[in-house]
Structure 1
Amino acid sequence: MNPRIPRDFVLPDPAAVHTVRSADGAELNVEEYGPDGAPLIVLAHGWTCATAFWAPVVNRLVADFRVVAYDQRGHGRSPAPAGPAGYSTAKLAEDLEAVLTATVPAGRRAVVAGHSMGGMTIMAAGGRPAVAARTAANVLVNTGPSALLDELMVLPPAVRGPRRFLHRQILRSRLPLGPVNGISRAVLKYATMGPATPADRVEGCAQIVHACPSGVRFHWAGVLETLDVHAGLARLTAPTAVVAGSHDKLTPPVHARRIAAELPNPCGLLELAGAGHMSPVERPADVAGEIRRIAALVADQLSAPAPEAAPGAVVPAPATVPGAAGPAETAVPESVRNTPVEESA
């Protein structure tokens, strides 16, 4: 019997779902959760994931924040690019800029958090005026700026000579992952999660990863193989926190330490003992807590601007935002919002 997926893997009902067009016309599925007018959090997921990957974190933030999450191109409900030219770090940066421009109102800023390729997206967008103008702070989770193949730890250190070659073959495989089963769960857990991760959380993560089309997985793996976003990292002037997992085999903590050392405005390095690469689903309370900590530090930038009052008018006090409902009670089916679209040829 398959493990039951945890309740917090169910996204709350979205307050809004819409499509945002990027600079090259690519369509991005964007979902918003939480009270309108609340402080803004924008989430960018990683390679082979989707908006649903953030569900455990969203459920811990939604009562107090307006949370925006979007499917990276080719993932979830965002269509795949028509050809290889649609896959690059520049495209990731353009997509983030488009999402921020569409969802962060003029005069407001958001805390922008990115996991894995989502963190690379934030670094790639470093220095873009439209992004900087809408960003109060960043949180970079389980990510790296370059040399990803050189630091991979999926294969044991005893595999010396062909280790980099074999890592490349694993990441750039075109083979479909197929249905989730006991073997695939065990492989995913070994490669991407901490050894103590419960079976139900492995199952929830596996369903998301297996939904990524193999062609999309392949093309983004090619981008990650030659990744170098140090230039953008050096231009991240907003306060930026870094989160790492002590057992992360894909972006080991050495990456987090390099990022923290290069940041113009570092705001803490949190290493989660026992966590692997999938911290937002392995340790969602810790990741949400770090996002809350950073949001508190820049709270003055996250507040909505006060309305302009006519001379002599009395401005009413803002209404109290009621608490949002907790995670849905139902078990997780194949969520409609996470069903991948058919990829382009």
Structure 2
Amino acid sequence: MSRLLHRDGAPPVPASELFVTSADGSRIHVEVYGPEDAPAVVLAHGWTCNTHFWAAQIRDLAADHRVIAYDQRGHGLTPEPGPGGYSVDALADDLEAVLAATLAPGRKAVLAGHSMGGMTLMAAARRPGLREHAAAVLLCSTGSGRLTAEATVVPLRPSAFRTRLTTAILGAKAPLGPVNPVSKRILKYATMGAGSAPGRVDTCARIVHACPRRARVGWGRVLAELEVTAEVRELRVPTAVIAGTDDRLTPPVHARAIAAALPVGLGLTELAGAGHMTPVEAPEAVTAKLRELTTRYVATVKATEATEAATSEKEDVA
């Protein structure tokens, strides 16, 4: 397995690490940060990334939040799945396993997903585990379907030919090679805004290039066929959406459609000049939205326990 080991972009040392077992027996690597009784946030990264993608959010939130981040199948320290292990159902299974292992029964958290992580949350919208634990959701730079038809990575007018080329790129088996000036320019064009700082481009390049090729290809093929539009309407918790105006992989048309379809939508924030990698490109905006959601929708464990105790005392007196 490959893993990003880049000190400048790394999150702090986790309070604990564990592997949880998903429905098909896959082992999912999880990192836990921050005080046990603080408001909880669960972070699901996107295609070709790993937990280090959330480093800025983890560094900021871990001081006063319980932050749970996990590696998707085949990414970071989570092993590649076996035959049949690449599917949106598997993503939802893994999320449910992480929630069950890291949150006490009934404990609520803000769930945030970037790109494929957002698709994971949408795919799990009907799942009991999500409905039990989700107080609110943040969807960053994601889409629910027609990903290859809407992507503008290939600089051609919309057409069946452009869609086929985009599909081929998502499933390409060619190795990405080393991180160098050329590969960083390519990655910046495809995934980030033109004004992205060099350090942030370097961070994203090292994360993406660390993803094993089989996982990149396997999930790329799943994304090419992704369709979870119906599940968006089942995401029945307060949900905010963030998108970069210059996102070529999941252009804002996706975010606008999702925001319009959400049963309990909290609106769409479009970040001017940002590309697809919003948590890295605009970390302050993403972190601020997470803090806003936890403040509004998640009580601390101590506060919840105090409320339950007070309620129990009143019932005893009655």
Give the TM-score normalised by structure 1.
0.85
1:92-133 deviations in Å (ceiling 9; x for gaps): 000000000111112310000000000000000001112111
| Contact 2:110–2:298 (8 Å) recurs in 1 | no
> Of the two structures, which has the highest relative contact order with CA contacts closer than 8 Å and spacing of 6 or more?
1
1:189 alignment counterpart: 188
Residues 99, 304 of structure 1: CA spacing in aligned structure 2 closer, same or farther, 3 A cutoff? farther
- The separation in 2 between residues aligned to 1:70 and 1:277, in whole angstroms, is 20
Residue aligned with 2:275, SS: coil
Residue aligned with 1:237, SS: coil
* 1:73 is the counterpart of 2:76: no
Shift of 1:6: 8.4
2:39 alignment counterpart: 39
| Contact 2:37–2:300 (8 Å) recurs in 1 | no
1:14 alignment counterpart: 14
Residue aligned with 1:140, SS: strand
| Contact 1:39–1:304 (8 Å) recurs in 2 | no
- The separation in 1 between residues aligned to 2:119 and 2:221, in whole angstroms, is 14
Pick which of 162-171 and 35-44 moved more. 162-171
1:316 alignment counterpart: none
| Contact 1:236–1:264 (8 Å) recurs in 2 | yes
Aligned residues: 305
Shift of 1:159: 7.8
* 1:140 is the counterpart of 2:167: no
Residues 301, 148 of structure 1: CA spacing in aligned structure 2 closer, same or farther, 3 A cutoff? farther
Q: Give the helix-richer structure, 1 or 2.
A: 2
2:113 alignment counterpart: 114
| Superposition pairs of residues 79-228 of structure 1, within 5 angstroms | 79-83=79-83, 85-158=84-157, 162-228=161-227
CA-based RMSD of the aligned residues comes to: 1.9
| Contact 1:108–1:304 (8 Å) recurs in 2 | no
Pick which of 160-169 and 30-39 moved more. 160-169
1:268 alignment counterpart: 267
| Contact 1:176–1:213 (8 Å) recurs in 2 | no
Question: Which consecutive aligned stretches of 4+ in structure 1 deviate over 6 angstroms post-superposition?
Answer: none
Identity of aligned residues (%): 52
Residue aligned with 2:304, SS: coil
Residue aligned with 1:206, SS: helix
Residue aligned with 1:162, SS: helix
1:337 alignment counterpart: none
| Contact 2:109–2:298 (8 Å) recurs in 1 | no
Give the letter aligned to residue 143 of structure 1.
T
Shift of 1:303: 5.9
Shift of 1:57: 1.4
